[in-house]
Amino acid sequence: MKKFKVTITESLEKVVEVKAPSLVDAELLVESQWKAGDHILDASNFTGIEFTAEEIQRQRGMER
């Protein structure tokens, strides 16, 4: 049997409206609010999932 590593990536998304002088300022503001725990993303914000597999290569000299 071959060995594989499978990465599971879940996506959450939430739209937050803010007033700011610029796009960059808006992003920085919401990022700081998120870090402070003002914006919590949970199961209701789930938007998708992706599975990515790659084969684990055996190194020379390794036993099965």
Ranges of each domain in the chain: 4-55
d(CA 47, CA 44): 9
Pick the residue with more confidence: 44 or 61? 44
pLDDT over threshold 80, residue 32: yes
Number of H helices, E strands in the chain: 1, 2
- Helix, coil or strand: residue 44: helix
Q: How confident is the model at residue 63 (pLDDT cuts 50, 70, 90)?
A: low
Q: What is the mean pLDDT of residues 35-52?
A: 97
pLDDT over threshold 90, residue 62: no
Q: What is the mean pLDDT of residues 24-44?
A: 98
Q: What is the mean pLDDT of residues 4-10?
A: 97
Token pair belonging to 40: 């919590």
